């Protein structure tokens, strides 16, 4: 029975001192990790990393509620431009009267409000009548919003035009809030571009469409309002909402903007972060389809689009054709139309679904706390596996916390905590390697030549196991041998033979190790391996069977190259058995091997050789088949009695499921013939096996047995067991 000693009690006061030293090392690792993250933040790497992780979170955690039912899009896409040019002879720009048809269709459908994301800052090239016709359609609709562009450097005017009514947005506390915002970050715009008066007359409200992308050109945050000429101007999405709620009560204080019942979290510059949705969440129709449908209705026909698709909904119109230059990158799409960004904002305004921005200082506290805890966890943990577990636990922890925060409606910094924790873990590992790795390095250096990596790790975790002895445990044992290799080797030089063997053994060993096996030894071309020691592997039988099948597949792949080298086709026989065996360090005090002993080991060796009697290349015992479960298909080959074992053994040939499915009819016929053989009906068995013998070596092996038993029936009671007289 092993005893576990806590670090604080190892060696009395010396143990306590060592424990305190580990704590100091853990804190040091945390400080180093946080410092490294801070230094990286000075280079801009952290900012870029944070932006990328936000986009990833936005895509991963975008709402999956079936999409928005409140917002609809009408897009002037490339097919609309093509339709107008080919069928109507309209070149770009279109007459504004055409847009009036869109407004009429929305009015006919009972849209709650319509907002156009199209700047009409110049008179129509088709004349003033075109502008007034468009404005008349807007007035007839009623709840219609047009855009104004507020700019810091570009714009046509620095005063609100006298012939354009001011927007009705009044934000309580705005002046006091502006006094606290840095001048270079405040949403104050000295210039603006308004729609021409003839067009502006058709709108009930104007909304700002200028938004500020972040350093990498991606639009992640939005301005819900801007200040121009001392007046608060709502964004176009907020203007659309105000069409329905004209007396919206608005107030701002600190990092929050209250809009009626909805409170919107703001960052230091007064920007908001919508919970970004996938583009497909906003149902969109083509402008051409809307215009055609309106014209059809005017002619008394049945339109392609039912106007009722807009009933009681907000409708946003904008450009998505690439040539119209209103495509912008967003967190959830590489490129999207500008109007979709407004749709994202409007949806959040209607639901109140904005992300809270965690203060910058909170990110630093989180990074420092996680870095120190991660460092302590590593330095206070003993054992390689436990240490690896701590790293696996803590490395993704900042990510998991950030994902949970996003899911709950907060943007928590991820880059800084992630880098700090990673730096802390690396530092803690290096400290441990420098101060406590001597014994580990000795064990690895002393035993790496003849023990598997898993055994070495087990010895590092439990050095007391270096003493001689073994333990009884269930193993799945693997024996393999190359068919006729003695004859093959006689035709090769020692150098050629060595190169061939090295190539073969390397390929097979790689697969065994990939499946978690421990290679016991090589005996010439034979490989002996096992699973479920020194580490517990609940699926050890399945791993072993998978390794055997993969080895056969790999040898099939390498066979042409081996034939070119040796002049022969190389085939490998594999035997697998699962059972109790003694496994551990065995040998003398000065030299020992980690190996296994027992009847289960001997049976695996016997099964490898019995393949010759059946014409098969992979054979497993019933114990292995049962332990592997449903992971693989198999067919029963027969019942055999082997040398040195009293009880007969059912043996099987394992198969990949796909291979078994393709041979199902053949295997069913084989099973029927085998059942007849075991029952003693040798004539029926002979007929069944003979029909299969040409394509199935296992069936062919039974033909001679049946003929011999028909010629000389067995004496006494027949039990269907084949007696193997050789090892």
pLDDT digits (tens, 9 = 90+) for 549-585: 999 999 999 999 999 988 889 999 999 999 999 998 7
Residue 293: phi, psi to the nearest 5?
Answer: -65, -40
Q: Which domain holds residue 598?
A: 467-661
Cα–Cα distance measured from residue 342 to residue 145, given in angstroms and rounded to the nearest whole number: 13
Q: Is residue 137 situated within a structural domain?
A: yes
Cβ-contact 123, 322 below 8 angstroms: no
Choose between 545 and 447: higher pLDDT. Answer: 545
CB count within 10 Å of CB 68 equals: 21
Q: What is the pLDDT of residue 465?
A: 53
690-697, long-range: CB < 8 A, 24+ apart: 692/666, 695/666, 696/666, 696/670, 697/614, 697/615, 697/616
How many domains does the structure of the chain reveal?
A: 5
| Euclidean distance between CA atoms 217 and 327, whole angstroms | 12
Residue 1, in any domain of the structure: no
Of 70, 76, 73, 202, whose CA–CA distance to 144 is shortest? 202
Residues 225 and 344 reside in one and the same domain:
yes
Distance CA 362, CA 404 (A): 16
Q: Tell me which residue of 72, 71, 82, 73 sits closest to 288, measured CA to CA.
A: 82
Q: How does pLDDT run across 397-440, given as a tens digit for each residue?
A: 999 999 999 999 998 889 999 999 999 889 888 887 777 666 56
Domain co-membership, 97 together with 225: yes
- Predicted confidence (pLDDT) at residue 317 exceeds the cutoff of 90: yes
487 and 563 housed in the same domain: yes
Picking from 278, 330, 310, 328, the residue whose alpha carbon sits closest to that of residue 74 is 310
The tokens for 141 are 């609709």
Instruction: Give the list of residues 6+ apart from residue 393 with CB closer than 8 angstroms, or none.
Output: 377
Are 230 and 299 within one domain?
Answer: yes
What is the maximum span of the chain, computed from C-alpha positions, in angstroms? 120
Residues 584-602, mean pLDDT to the nearest whole number:
82
pLDDT value at residue 468: 58
Please say which residue of 661, 692, 711 terminates a domain: 661
| Last residue of one domain, picked from the residues 298, 318, 352 | 352
Say if residue 214 is in the same domain as residue 337: yes
Are the CB atoms for 399 and 406 separated by under 8 Å?
no
Mean pLDDT for 350-356 is 92
- For residue 482, is it left (φ>0), alpha (ψ between -120 and 50) or beta? beta
% of the chain with per-residue pLDDT over 90:
61
Instruction: Say yes or no: 177 and 277 in one domain.
Output: yes
Q: For position 436, what pLDDT does the model report?
A: 63
Q: What is the pLDDT of residue 454?
A: 67
Q: Which residues pair with 225 in a beta bridge?
A: 234
User: Helices (H) and strands (E) in the chain — how many of each?
Assistant: 25, 28
Are the C-beta atoms of 298 and 54 separated by less than 8 Å?
no
Confidence of residue 448 (pLDDT cuts 50, 70, 90): low
150: tokens are: 């507020």
Question: Do 347 and 452 lie in a common domain?
Answer: no
d(CA 523, CA 693): 34
CA atoms within 13 A on the CB side of 161: 18
In a domain, residue 43? The reply is yes
Among candidate residues 538, 539, 531, the one with its CA nearest the CA of residue 513 = 531
- How far CA 690 is from CA of 267, 331, 707, in Å, comes to 83, 68, 10
- CA dist., res. 374 & res. 247, Å (int): 53
Give the Å distances, CA to CA, from 625 to 108, 134, 630, 665. 72, 79, 9, 21
Helix 682-692 and helix 664-679, axial crossing angle in degrees, nearest 10: 160
Per-residue pLDDT for 670 more than 60? yes
- Domain boundary residue among 645, 661, 677? 661
Evaluate if residue 664 carries a pLDDT over 70: yes
When pLDDT is cut at 50, 70 and 90, the band that residue 545 belongs to is very high
What is the rounded CA–CA span in Å between residue 316 and residue 46?
A: 36
Residue by residue, DSSP assigns 456-486 as: HHHHHH-GGGGSSEEEEEEEEEEEEEETTHH
Could you tell me if residue 56 is inside a domain? no
d(C-alpha 99, C-alpha 381), whole Å: 70
Say if residue 676 is in the same domain as residue 724. yes
For residue 469, the model assigns a pLDDT of 67
Q: What local confidence, expressed as pLDDT, does residue 443 receive? A: 59
pLDDT of residue 76: 95
pLDDT confidence tier of residue 459, bands split at 50, 70 and 90: low
The residue-averaged pLDDT of 181-194 equals 91
Distance between CA 220 and CA 332 in Å, rounded?
A: 9
Of residues 595 and 201, the one with the higher pLDDT is 201
Q: What are phi and psi of 206, to 5 degrees?
A: -110, 145
The DSSP bridge partners found for residue 584 are 470, 595
Confidence of residue 134 (pLDDT cuts 50, 70, 90): very high
Residue 592: strand, helix, or coil: strand
Q: How confident is the model at residue 208 (pLDDT cuts 50, 70, 90)?
A: very high
Instruction: For residues 440 and 169, give the distance between their C-alpha atoms in angstroms, rounded to a whole number.
Output: 71
Q: Where are the alpha helices (DSSP H) in 197-254?
A: 197-200, 236-244
Give Cα 703 distance to the centre of its chain.
Answer: 54
Q: What is the model's pLDDT at position 6? A: 33
Other C-beta atoms closer than 10 Å to the C-beta of 131 total 25
pLDDT on residue 386: 76
Distance CA 433, CA 463 (A): 17
What pLDDT, in 10s, does the model give residues 683-699? 999 999 999 999 999 99
Cβ pair 174, 253 in contact under 8 A: no
Residues 233-244 have pLDDT tens digits of 999 999 999 999
Lowest-confidence region among 76-90, 203-217, 277-291, 444-458: 444-458
Does residue 523 share a domain with residue 458?
Answer: no
Q: What is the CATH number of the domain that holds 606?
A: 3.30.70.1230
Reading phi first (left if > 0) and then psi (alpha if -120 to 50, else beta), residue 173 is in: left
Is 55 domain-assigned?
A: no
- Per-residue CA distances from 525 to 489, 500, 507, 687 (Å): 10, 10, 13, 39
DSSP-assigned beta bridge partners for residue 252: 257
What's the rounded Cα separation, in Å, for the pair 455 and 287? Answer: 69
- Check whether residue 31 and residue 18 sit in a common domain: yes
Residue-level pLDDT at 18: 64
Residue 125 backbone phi and psi in degrees, to 5: -70, -10
| Sign of the alpha-carbon torsion through 514, 516, 521, 524 | negative
Are 447 and 508 members of one domain?
no
pLDDT tens, residue by residue, 8-55: 333 344 346 667 888 888 899 889 989 998 998 888 888 898 899 999
Query: Looking at the domain assignment, is residue 529 inside a domain?
Result: yes
Does residue 491 sit in the same domain as residue 460? no
Angle between helices 128-141 and 96-109 (to 10 degrees): 10
- How far is the CA of 216 from the CAs of 45, 267, 330, in angstroms? 12, 18, 11
Mean pLDDT for all residues in the chain:
88
Which of 161, 142, 247, 149 minimizes the C-alpha distance to 202? 142
The answer to whether 515 and 543 are in contact (CB under 8 A) is yes
Q: Is the pLDDT of residue 303 over 90?
A: yes
Residues across the chain: 727
DSSP code of residue 694: T
Task: Copy the structure tokens of residue 534.
Answer: 């020194």
Ordered DSSP codes for 667-680? HHHHHHHHHHHHHT
Residue 112 has pLDDT above 60, yes or no: yes
DSSP state, 449?
Answer: T
- Tokens coding 412: 């928590």
Greater pLDDT, 534 or 287: 287
Whether 606 is in a domain gets the answer: yes
Per-residue model confidence as pLDDT tens digits over 499-527: 999 999 999 999 998 898 988 899 989 99
3-class secondary structure, 539: coil
Q: Which residues, other chains included, contact 497 with Cβ-Cβ below 8 Å and sequence gap of 6+?
A: 489
pLDDT at 489: 83
Rounded mean pLDDT, 666-677: 95
Taking the complete model, does pTM exceed 0.75, yes or no?
Answer: no
Looking at the domain assignment, is residue 58 inside a domain?
Answer: no
């Amino acid at each position: 029975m092993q005893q576990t000693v806590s670090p604080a009690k190892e060696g009395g006061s010396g143990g306590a001192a060592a424990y305190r030293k580990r704590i100091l090392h853990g804190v040091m690792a945390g400080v180093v990790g946080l410092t490294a993250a801070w230094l990286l933040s000075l280079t801009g790497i952290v900012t870029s990393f944070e932006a990328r992780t936000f986009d990833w979170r936005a895509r991963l955690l975008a709402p999956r509620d079936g999409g928005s039912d409140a917002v609809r899009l009408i897009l002037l896409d490339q097919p609309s431009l093509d339709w107008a040019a080919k069928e109507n002879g309209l070149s770009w720009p279109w007459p504004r009267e055409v847009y009036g048809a869109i407004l009429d269709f929305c009015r006919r459908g009972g849209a709650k409000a319509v907002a156009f994301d199209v700047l009409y800052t110049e008179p129509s090239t088709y004349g003033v009548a075109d502008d007034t016709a468009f404005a008349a359609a807007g007035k007839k609709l009623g709840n219609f919003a047009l855009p104004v562009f507020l700019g810091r450097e570009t714009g046509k005017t620095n005063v609100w035009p006298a012939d354009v009514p001011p927007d009705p947005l009044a934000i309580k506390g705005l002046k006091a809030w502006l006094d606290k915002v840095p001048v270079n970050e405040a949403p104050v715009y000295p210039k603006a571009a308004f729609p021409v008066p003839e067009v502006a007359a058709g709108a009930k409200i104007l909304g700002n469409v200028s938004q500020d992308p972040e350093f990498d050109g991606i639009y992640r945050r939005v301005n819900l309002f801007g200040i121009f000429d001392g007046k608060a101007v709502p964004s176009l999405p907020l203007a659309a909402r105000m069409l329905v709620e004209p007396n919206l009560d608005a107030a701002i204080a600190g990092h929050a903007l209250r809009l009626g019942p909805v409170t919107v979290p703001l960052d230091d510059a007064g920007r908001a972060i919508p919970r970004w949705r996938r583009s497909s969440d906003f149902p969109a129709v083509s402008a051409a389809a809307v215009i055609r449908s309106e014209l059809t209705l005017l002619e008394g026909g049945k339109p392609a689009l039912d106007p009722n698709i807009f009933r009681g909904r907000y409708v946003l119109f904008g450009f998505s054709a690439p040539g119209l230059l209103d495509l912008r990158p967003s967190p959830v799409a590489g490129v999207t139309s500008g109007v979709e960004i407004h749709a994202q904002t409007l949806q959040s305004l209607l639901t109140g679904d904005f992300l809270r921005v965690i203060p910058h200082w909170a990110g630093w506290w989180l990074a420092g706390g996680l870095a120190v805890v991660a460092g302590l966890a590593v330095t206070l943990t003993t054992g390689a596996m436990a240490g690896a577990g701590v790293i696996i636990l803590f490395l993704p922890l900042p990510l998991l916390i950030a994902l949970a925060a996003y899911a709950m409606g907060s943007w928590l910094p991820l880059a800084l905590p992630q880098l700090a924790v990673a730096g802390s873990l690396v530092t803690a590992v290096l400290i441990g390697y420098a101060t406590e790795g001597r014994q580990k390095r000795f064990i690895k250096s002393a035993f790496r030549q003849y023990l598997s990596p898993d055994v070495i790790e087990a010895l590092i975790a439990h050095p007391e196991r270096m003493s001689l002895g073994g333990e009884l445990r269930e193993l799945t044992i693997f024996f393999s041998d190359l068919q006729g290799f003695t004859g093959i080797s006689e035709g090769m030089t020692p150098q050629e033979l060595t190169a061939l063997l090295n190539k073969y053994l390397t390929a097979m060993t790689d697969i065994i190790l990939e499946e978690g096996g421990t290679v016991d030894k090589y005996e010439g071309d034979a490989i002996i391996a096992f699973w479920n020691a020194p580490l517990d592997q609940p699926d050890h039988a399945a791993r072993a069977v998978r390794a055997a099948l993969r080895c056969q597949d790999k040898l099939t792949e390498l066979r042409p190259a081996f034939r070119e080298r040796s002049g022969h086709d190389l085939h490998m026989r594999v035997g697998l058995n699962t059972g109790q065996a003694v496994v551990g360090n065995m040998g003398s005090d000065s030299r020992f091997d980690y190996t296994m002993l027992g009847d289960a080991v001997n049976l695996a060796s016997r099964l490898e050789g019995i393949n010759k009697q059946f014409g098969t290349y992979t054979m497993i015992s019933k114990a292995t088949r049962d332990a592997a479960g449903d992971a693989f298909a198999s067919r029963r080959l027969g019942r055999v009695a082997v040398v040195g074992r009293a009880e007969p053994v059912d043996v099987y040939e394992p198969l990949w499921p796909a291979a078994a499915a393709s041979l199902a009819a053949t295997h069913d016929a084989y099973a029927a013939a085998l059942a007849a053989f075991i029952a003693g009906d040798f004539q029926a068995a002979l007929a069944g096996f003979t029909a299969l013998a040409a394509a199935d070596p296992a069936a062919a092996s039974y033909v001679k047995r049946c003929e011999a038993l028909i010629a000389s029936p067995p004496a006494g009671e027949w039990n269907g067991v084949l007696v193997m007289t050789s090892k």
